Copies of this chain bind each other. A is one copy, B any other.
Amino acid sequence: MSQDQIIDCRSEPQAIPFRIGVVLFPGFQALDAFGPMDCLNVLSRNHAVTLALLSSTLEPVTTKSPVSPHALGQAVVPTHTFETAPSLDLLLVPGGLGSRGSSPAIEETISYIRNVYPTLKYLITVCTGSGLAARAGVLDGKRATTNKRAWAEITALSGLVEWVPHARWVVDGNIWSSSGVSAGIDVTLAWIEEVYGCQVADTIANGIEYTRHRDSSHDPFAELHGL
């Protein structure tokens, strides 16, 4: 995004909408998606933003873990399939137990990430969502981070990624990757700060009464999970 566009975003709520998409797949982690989306929902009260919720089909997508038969889940309604997805400026990829292993839904998600990435201005991954980006090949040669408890499994997915163990989030080029789950709120607020300015990001954080992690390299959970 050019400096002109950044200034437009800050001063012109009615500017050309910034187009955001979020991929949903069975077993996505609820907070991976809804932490960032809550920030974007608040942003959208004063800034022109569109949001597409993308999945294989238009059927509601559950957060229920496919590997925990008794686990709870909530069902969220997609707005588009991968085939009918609109053009996007930013794609957000959550993680979750459903991102592990393989299934038709996951393979379609990975294909979509691979195909759409060259058209994006930004890609944000949350938690094990970076594993999907790695499998799509879009992290090849880049620095990235991921969930710290799932570190060994996710980093083994690609030897072509420079995995950063101690990081709340990592920025390399136009890819912003966060650590696990709630770190998605911090990477989203950091991205909002980059694009819309510090005051907008802080107003959102204070509105949702969230104590931001402001230092991307501060990561108490890396040590806690043995990294």
Residues of A that sit less than 8 Å from B by CB: 29-31, 34-35, 37-38, 40-41, 44-45, 48-51, 53, 60, 63-65, 68, 70-77, 147-149, 179-183, 185, 206-211, 213, 220-221, 224-225
A37 with B72, Cβ < 8 A, contacts A209-B147, A224-B206 known: yes
Q: How many copies, total? A: 2
Bound Cα distance from A76 to B76, whole angstroms: 5
Contact at B209–A211, with CB atoms within 8 Å? Answer: no
Contact at B207–A149, with CB atoms within 8 Å? Answer: yes
Chain B residues positioned under 8 Å from A31 (CB to CB): 34-35, 38, 208
Bound Cα distance from A75 to B52, whole angstroms: 12
The majority secondary structure among interface residues of chain A is loop
Contact at A34–B179, with CB atoms within 8 Å? Answer: no
Contact at A208–B220, with CB atoms within 8 Å? Answer: no
Contact at A41–B206, with CB atoms within 8 Å? Answer: no
- Interface residue from B60, B70, B74 paired with A48 (Cβ < 8 Å): B70
Shortest Cβ gap from A227 to chain B (Å) = 12
Bound Cα distance from A148 to B207, whole angstroms: 8
Shortest Cβ gap from A215 to chain B (Å) = 12
Bound Cα distance from A41 to B220, whole angstroms: 23
Bound Cα distance from A104 to B115, whole angstroms: 45
Bound Cα distance from A154 to B207, whole angstroms: 15
